[in-house]
Amino acid sequence: MKIFVTGGTGNIGQHVTLALAARGHQVELLTRTPERIPAFQTMENVHVVKGCLQEPETMTAALTGCDAVIHIALGWGVTPEEMLMNDTRVTAILLDAAEQAGVKNFIYTSSTAAAGDLYDGMDETGLRAPTDLYGSTKAATEVYMMGFRQYYSKKGGYGDKVRMRRNIIRPGYTFSSPAVPGGASQSDKRFQRIAEAIVQGQDLTFPAGDGTQFLSSRQIAQVYTALVESDLNEEIFYALGSNFITWYQIACMAKEMTPGCRSRITAEGEAGKPNLYCVDKIHRVFGLRFDGMDDLEEHIRWNLERAKAKLAGETLHNPVHSY
């Protein structure tokens, strides 16, 4: 398949791009900064397209002949209007452009934030009840996308039906070491801060039970490839690990990997039983189930090596990308 990918140089996107190319798909990779990851410019099955979602004209030509769109790029803003314009609006424009170009399958990257507060066993059938602006924007885009089944006629009434399949992936906390030189890493700096504290022997304290169902970007890429190669339509999938892992555990792992480390790691308060997302659907439909510990040790080691290099005064590239 020929697949148009947005956000392909980011934390999740770089691994999705590699996974698609490895499976023989032709990737049309939209990015504002092609020079940021030179490896993609010479990679077989990857064609880099310079442009951005706020410039629809750059997308039209690249969508020609594409079988699918995987929309990973994060639309961000400070105000409600900015969030709406940068995520929901650009996704609506991309949806329309993809349908007009004859694309057969569209995958939107949402977030667990679209569902709102977590309760134990929450699955994809729960109501959308976001509790912040980011989650509200993702939920709004989900609803808009699922409702995009038919055009209206300028003469009144309904017009053409939408032929394109539309599906949604909701990642949670996703981490990654760079998949290629210059590639992006984790979506925030908590791993980095833990590693820097450990190599300097600083003490660390965490609230007991502060953690999540981690999943590496390499693993989440398997969900994207399985979904884009399917005939499913109007489905939502949580993409998370099956295990709950705390930041306290991660810090302890980092300490164990650092001989002679004198950091004291403590957890304050009572942990209690964590609420967990139900991730049975990706197992039931695709046969995928992920242990959150997979890739975690490697990622901690990568952060520790970076922390040591930074302490030694080496210049490091910024691994936290904007999309």
The rounded distance, in Å, linking the Cα atoms of 59 and 61 is 6
Residues 131 and 193 both lie in one domain: no
Residue 316 has pLDDT above 70, yes or no: no
% of the chain at pLDDT higher than 90: 73
Looking at the domain assignment, is residue 20 inside a domain? yes
Residue 292 has pLDDT above 90, yes or no: no
Q: Read off the pLDDT of residues 91-110 as tens digits, 9 standing for 90 and up.
A: 999 999 999 999 999 999 99
Looking at the domain assignment, is residue 320 inside a domain? no
Report the largest interatomic distance among the alpha carbons of the chain, rounded to a whole angstrom. Answer: 76
Residues 222 and 261 both lie in one domain: no
Phi/psi for 301 (5° steps) reads -60, -40
Task: Give the DSSP H or E segment for 19.
Answer: helix 13-22
Nearest to 241 by CA among 284, 296, 186: 296
Residue 111 has pLDDT above 80, yes or no: yes
Residues 95 and 152 both lie in one domain: yes
Q: Read off the pLDDT of residues 162-210 as tens digits, 9 standing for 90 and up.
A: 999 999 999 999 998 888 877 766 556 899 999 999 999 999 999 999 9
pTM: 0.93
Phi/psi for 59 (5° steps) reads -85, -35
Please tell me the predicted confidence (pLDDT) of residue 37.
81
What's the domain count of the chain?
A: 2
Given the DSSP bridges, would you call strands 211-212 and 245-246 parallel, antiparallel or unpaired?
A: antiparallel
Please tell me the predicted confidence (pLDDT) of residue 196.
96
What does the DSSP 8-state code read for residue 14? H
177-187: b (≥16 Cβ within 10 Å) or e: bbbbebbbbbb
**Domain range for 10:** 2-172+217-239
Looking at the domain assignment, is residue 76 inside a domain? yes
Residues 86 and 228 both lie in one domain: yes
What does the DSSP 8-state code read for residue 154? T
Please tell me the predicted confidence (pLDDT) of residue 319.
54
The rounded distance, in Å, linking the Cα atoms of 8 and 15 is 8
Q: Read off the pLDDT of residues 2-30 as tens digits, 9 standing for 90 and up.
A: 999 999 888 899 999 999 999 999 999 99
pLDDT classification of 154: cutoffs 50, 70, 90? confident
122-151: b (≥16 Cβ within 10 Å) or e: bebeeebebeebbbbbbbbbbeebbebeee
Residue 321 has pLDDT above 50, yes or no: no
Asked whether 279 and 247 are in contact (CB, 8 A), the reply is: no
Rg (CA), the chain: 20
Residues 265 and 305 both lie in one domain: yes
Q: Read off the pLDDT of residues 157-169 as tens digits, 9 standing for 90 and up.
A: 888 999 999 999 9
The rounded distance, in Å, linking the Cα atoms of 267 and 283 is 33
Phi/psi for 298 (5° steps) reads -60, -40
Looking at the domain assignment, is residue 321 inside a domain? no
- C-alpha separations of 178 from 181, 279, 302, 321 in Å: 7, 26, 9, 11
Residue 31 has pLDDT above 90, yes or no: no
Residues 297 and 223 both lie in one domain: no
Check which CATH number belongs to the domain holding 20 and give it: 3.40.50.720
Please tell me the predicted confidence (pLDDT) of residue 188.
65
* Residue 283: other Cβ atoms inside 10 A: 12
* Mean pLDDT, rounded, for 70-84: 90
Looking at the domain assignment, is residue 167 inside a domain? yes
312 or 256: whose pLDDT is higher?
256
CA dihedral angle for residue 68, residue 323, residue 244, residue 209, rounded to 10 degrees: -150
Instruction: Return the sign of the alpha-carbon dihedral for residues 106, 112, 115, 120.
Output: positive
What does the DSSP 8-state code read for residue 232? -
- Strands across the sheet containing 165-171: 46-50, 26-31, 2-6, 68-71, 105-109, 165-171, 236-239
Please tell me the predicted confidence (pLDDT) of residue 39.
87
Residues 93 and 134 both lie in one domain: yes
Please tell me the predicted confidence (pLDDT) of residue 185.
63
For the chain, give the mean pLDDT.
91
Please tell me the predicted confidence (pLDDT) of residue 36.
77
